[in-house]
């Protein structure tokens, strides 16, 4: 059975640091036995298919992380997610995505379930009109002025909020594109 996945790499190619060229990422994923490897943008988004028995996403993630560290000499946190999961996250968006600009809506993907108790220290009303909602191993963020100006995004990304969790954020345009790429 063929399964399609997306690999979401965290914190690469930012400000000239932790460089992972997309051609090399495609090669690395192909070397791991994946087919139809494609990348999107330079920020660490890759889509691939595989026919092998489906190990847990955690095992697939570990294989990609280990290969990245071996090839580039530094650790890269990564999340590997199946096409159905990515589609479900997009479909479950609690905000009116079709009415918003891609820069106003973001999804932070987590490596594990994250409950609301983690964010009790955040006074949501103090950040309005910015808002966030939790989903299945995901956090949806509405930031009308974009992520770079978002005070709520800053509060949500503090180390105390994300202790022990791998998290990586994508804007809505990228979320939609990854769903499209994993469907094709």
- What pLDDT score does 17 carry? 76
> 11 — alpha (psi -120 to 50), left (phi > 0) or beta?
left
- What pLDDT score does 35 carry? 94
Which domains, and CATH codes, for the chain?
Answer: 3-85 (3.30.70.1280), 88-183 (3.30.70)
How many Å apart are CA 6 and CA 43, to the nearest integer?
13
- What pLDDT score does 54 carry? 61
Stated pTM of the model: 0.93
State whether the Cα torsion 106-110-116-120 is positive or negative: negative
Sheet containing 45-50, strands listed edge to edge, beginning at the edge strand earlier in sequence: 35-40, 45-50, 3-9, 78-82
- What pLDDT score does 137 carry? 96
Q: Write down the residue that tokens 């969790």 correspond to.
A: 165
How many Å apart are CA 110 and CA 50, to the nearest integer?
23
Q: What is the pLDDT along the chain (184 residues), one digit of tens a residue?
A: 788 999 999 988 777 778 899 999 999 999 999 999 999 988 789 999 987 666 678 888 999 999 999 999 999 999 999 999 999 999 999 999 999 999 999 999 999 999 999 999 999 999 999 999 999 999 999 999 999 999 999 999 988 889 999 999 999 999 999 999 999 7
How many Å apart are CA 115 and CA 77, to the nearest integer?
21
Cβ contacts of 15 within 8 Å, gap of 6 or more: none
């Amino acid at each position: 059975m063929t399964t399609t996945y997306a690999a979401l790499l965290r914190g690469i190619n930012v400000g000239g640091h932790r460089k992972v060229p997309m051609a090399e990422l495609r090669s690395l994923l192909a070397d791991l036995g994946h087919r139809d490897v494609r990348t999107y943008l330079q920020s660490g988004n890759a889509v691939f298919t595989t026919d092998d028995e489906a190990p847990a996403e955690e095992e697939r993630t570990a294989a990609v992380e280990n290969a990245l560290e071996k090839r580039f000499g530094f650790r890269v946190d990564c999340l590997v997610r199946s096409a159905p999961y990515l589609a479900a996250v997009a479909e479950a968006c609690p905000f009116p995505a079709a009415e918003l600009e891609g820069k106003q809506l973001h999804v932070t993907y987590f490596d594990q379930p994250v409950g609301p108790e983690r964010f009790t220290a955040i006074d949501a009303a103090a950040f309005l009109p910015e808002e966030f909602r939790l989903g299945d191993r995901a956090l949806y963020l509405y930031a009308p002025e974009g992520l770079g100006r978002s005070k709520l995004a800053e509060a949500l990304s503090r180390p105390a909020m994300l202790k022990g969790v791998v998290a990586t954020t994508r804007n809505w345009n990228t979320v939609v594109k990854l769903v499209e790429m994993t469907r094709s």
